[in-house]
Structure 1
Amino acid sequence: MSGEHAGQGMELRTLLFLLCLSTFVTGILPKEIQHGFKGTLHDNMKEYFKNYMVENFKGVIEKQFDKLKISKWIGEDVSKRSQQASALERDIGLIVVKDILKGLSDTLKADERSLGSILEKRDNTIIQSPDILAWFREVSDLRQTISSDINTSFKSWSDVLSALPDRCDESPNVPMSTHHSDITLLGKTPDFMNLFWPFRFDINVMNQRLAAYGLTNIIITESNETLKLDLFEELQDLQAIRLPVKGNQIMFSFGDEDVVEGLNRSRLVPLSKSYVKAAKHLYTKEEQEYIRLLATEALNLINKTHTELHSAMVQMISCIAFAKDEAATHISGSANSALGLIWLNPQEDWTVPVMAEQLVHEFIHITLFYAELVHRGYKDVSRLPDAKAMSSIRRKPRPYDKSLHAAYVSAGLITFHTRAGFINRAAELVQTLPEAVQELNRVNAETDVLDEAGRAMLDFLTDYVCLTRM
């Protein structure tokens, strides 16, 4: 869509919205949505955009800015805040090459050799132990359904994430062990993947629907494909990033000028003008063909491992941008100021499992970004850098939000790898996760950085780690 047509489309939708606004608000939405629900959701999203996207508004012209339904309230403050933007910590989810590649390819290659037989046998394996069967039955009954009504779903966020009626370590029905569990058992059933909420389609699409309502004041009742297209059209102005998007697939981007500018604008991948002008960020045609094949096969592997996870990724991700990092220190990233965008810098030794891990890793960040957008999570983001906790990925103290994200990433990757058959890699990640989750609870108890929604997300993660016997 051209910039001119995009602007005309925006004006038309704005006009239609204004014409039907009074009827819609007074005649369709219940009073509790008009007031409590709507007000809370909008407050959450305002705070999110203020904290993470204010830098982007320097590039939005006044005429565009006047149309923004949520963000224009910070218009007078943009100049002052944009000067302070360098001091704002953004959770960009970047992975240092030396940290992620050390041993990763070797462990996944060793697992990959036996992947075929594992995939064929895993669902036919019958676990005879009564304790194990009881454990699996317990897990299969824990997934909470969510309401299709956005008001009810918004209010029940904490209840939906409550995996257990009691704390995991107090539940007599879960066969906990004081010893390191056999994590291969996690892959014998899809129920652990079904329970891990960032992999759930229904929760993710509801958060997307809530975001769309928060931006447009319209409940989009059309197909999920339409929801995705409409949401990213709205986000285009807010994020000041024009992303390629299709309703039923994830787009691949190699050198798209708008996307490259977006990588810079969101500070996801700082690329100097001279670096881009010299086309050093681009892959050759041969490299692009190989990367496309690698990414396609990785998505196929994800789909074969857990179809619901793959469907959620297609719904929530606009595009994957492939570009070389000028500093040569990072291989992947996502940012809360660039919702729906994943950046990858594939290395020569990447295999299909390595590519799959990077995609699942960054997708988990994206699901958390969406959740934080509509539900919040932190009482005051300015306090996060001082509330440091050990990161299960970087294995060093980091700001609280980054370490919470890292713990979710570890839990999700362990679950994915055990189901896909990459047991060595899962075992490597298990080594640091339980202690990291314990520290997240300790630091929050000391600093009180989490609000109700954030506490629910941490409680889910705590119960999930305990429930999986990690």
Structure 2
Amino acid sequence: MLHVLGIEETIKNVYMLSKKFMKRKHISNTYELKPFYLKFLKKHQPVQPIPDTLSISFIADTIGIWTQLNPESSGNALDDIHQQSMIGEAYSTDEQAQHLEALKLGYLHLTESNTELKALFDLIIHTIFLRKSRTIDQHISFGGSSSAGIGLIWISGHGALDRADIAELLLHELTHHQLFIDERCHMHYNYAALCKPENFSSSAILNKKRPLDKVVHSIIVATEIILARNKFLTQQETKVHATSKDLMAKAVAAIKETMRMANINELLSERTRKMLEKAEASLSAIEGKLMS
């Protein structure tokens, strides 16, 4: 959330999570902060594979990483589109090299476009893993992330994606991880009420009724994609996201629908509501340019 939350707030969140592992060590940059962040993840999410190196690992998953992270996900009422079941088979050895090289090019395309974004991405993300997607309910996924695996991104290799497509996909997933981290530091939702269908709202990405945590994520993701396109990414449409104009319309509609809910103060924390207000204000500032 380079725009909605800001780089300083995100780094502050990572620092809060990592602080007890520092033993009073002075930290002057995000590179020095990352080892202690990785220690936090090893302590609190020990199942996920965390590399010993500080650089991002690009790997072809052959052991079923996602299943290990989410062994009991099938009964989760908030997994409304069965994302935890989407990950399919491993790629053959012959296929892996080509896809991993494409991921690296997409990562470079994204991080070379903005220095602050590179600092955030390199701090928060430790591993990007490749594994095929299953088709469920006629839907196939480009990738995903889980709050049970902070810092870990799944990419499916589905579709003939170029580096601009992959760059946006990585930005999309980074935004989820920033929200996961922020929620570790600050309350976001009343989870007991979120799984009730009467508390669902319309997603800004999939344009369907979903649990409110997914809706908030979709709004923030859409906002970050639109603002990145407006500032440092040149494309206005990719294979993984709709046109900026379409994303704008759906994001604004999703914000308005969500914020009009009669019990919104009971469902979302003040911090989360303020993030939606910031997203709406940021989109409003460029709406005339996009919608003309």
Aligned equivalents of 1:408, 1:455: Cα separation in 2:
11
In the alignment, is the contact (CA less than 8 A) between 1:220 and 1:227 conserved in 2?
no
Aligned equivalents of 2:216, 2:260: Cα separation in 1:
12
- Looking at secondary structure, tell me which structure has more helix per residue: 1
CA shift for structure 1 position 287? 2.1
CA shift in 2, pair 1:422/1:383, >3 Å:
same
Paired residues for 1:52-91 under 5 Å: none
In the alignment, is the contact (CA less than 8 A) between 2:144 and 2:173 conserved in 1?
yes
CA shift in 2, pair 1:415/1:327, >3 Å:
same
Q: Residue 200 of structure 2 aligns with which residue?
A: 388
Paired residues for 1:148-167 under 5 Å: none
1:423 aligned residue (207, 222, 236):
236
Instruction: Name the SS of the counterpart of 2:267 in structure 1.
Output: coil
Paired residues for 1:269-418 under 5 Å: 269-270=84-85, 281-327=89-135, 329-378=140-189, 380-386=190-196, 387-418=199-230
Q: Residue 433 of structure 1 aligns with which residue?
A: 251
Instruction: Name the SS of the counterpart of 1:431 in structure 2.
Output: helix
Q: Residue 65 of structure 2 aligns with which residue?
A: 259
Kindly provide the CA deviation profile for residues 197-243 of structure 1, in whole angstroms up to 9, marking residues without a partner as x: 45x43322211111123x65956533533432222233224223232
CA shift in 2, pair 1:461/1:270, >3 Å:
same
TM-score normalised by structure 2 residue count: 0.80
In the alignment, is the contact (CA less than 8 A) between 1:246 and 1:318 conserved in 2?
no
In the alignment, is the contact (CA less than 8 A) between 1:240 and 1:262 conserved in 2?
no
CA shift for structure 1 position 337? 1.7
Kindly provide the CA deviation profile for residues 301-349 of structure 1, in whole angstroms up to 9, marking residues without a partner as x: 1123222112211100111111113456322111112111111101141
Aligned equivalents of 1:330, 1:456: Cα separation in 2:
30
In the alignment, is the contact (CA less than 8 A) between 2:35 and 2:54 conserved in 1?
no
What is the one-letter code of the residue matched to 2:195?
Answer: P
Instruction: Name the SS of the counterpart of 1:458 in structure 2.
Output: helix
TM-score normalised by structure 1 residue count: 0.52
CA shift in 2, pair 1:308/1:248, >3 Å:
farther
1:221 aligned residue (1, 26, 31):
26
CA shift in 2, pair 1:226/1:243, >3 Å:
farther
Aligned equivalents of 2:99, 2:254: Cα separation in 1:
34
CA shift in 2, pair 1:456/1:428, >3 Å:
closer
Instruction: Name the SS of the counterpart of 1:440 in structure 2.
Output: helix
CA shift in 2, pair 1:352/1:266, >3 Å:
farther
Aligned length in residues:
267
CA shift for structure 1 position 265? 3.5
2:271 aligned residue (449, 453, 469):
453
Aligned equivalents of 2:70, 2:266: Cα separation in 1:
33
CA shift in 2, pair 1:443/1:372, >3 Å:
same
Q: Residue 96 of structure 1 aligns with which residue?
A: none
Aligned equivalents of 1:402, 1:271: Cα separation in 2:
17
Aligned equivalents of 1:446, 1:264: Cα separation in 2:
29
CA shift for structure 1 position 255? 2.1
CA shift for structure 1 position 270? 4.0
Identity %: 21
In the alignment, is the contact (CA less than 8 A) between 1:393 and 1:407 conserved in 2?
yes
What is the one-letter code of the residue matched to 1:224?
Answer: T
2:17 is the counterpart of 1:211: yes
* RMSD, aligned CA: 2.7
Kindly provide the CA deviation profile for residues 374-406 of structure 1, in whole angstroms up to 9, marking residues without a partner as x: 01122x211112321110111011111110110
Instruction: Name the SS of the counterpart of 1:465 in structure 2.
Output: helix
Paired residues for 1:7-86 under 5 Å: none
In the alignment, is the contact (CA less than 8 A) between 2:129 and 2:154 conserved in 1?
yes
Higher RCO (CA 8 Å, separation ≥ 6 residues): 1
In the alignment, is the contact (CA less than 8 A) between 2:127 and 2:151 conserved in 1?
yes
Aligned equivalents of 2:104, 2:22: Cα separation in 1:
36
More displaced 10-residue stretch of structure 1: 447-456 or 287-296: 447-456
CA shift for structure 1 position 409? 0.7
Instruction: Name the SS of the counterpart of 2:55 in structure 1.
Output: coil
Q: Residue 240 of structure 2 aligns with which residue?
A: none
CA shift in 2, pair 1:232/1:327, >3 Å:
farther
Q: Give ranges in structure 2 of 5+ residues lacking alignment.
A: 74-82, 238-242
Aligned equivalents of 1:260, 1:401: Cα separation in 2:
20
Q: Residue 80 of structure 2 aligns with which residue?
A: none
Structure of larger gyration radius: 1
CA shift in 2, pair 1:218/1:458, >3 Å:
farther
Q: Give ranges in structure 1 of 5+ residues lacking alignment.
A: 1-192, 273-279
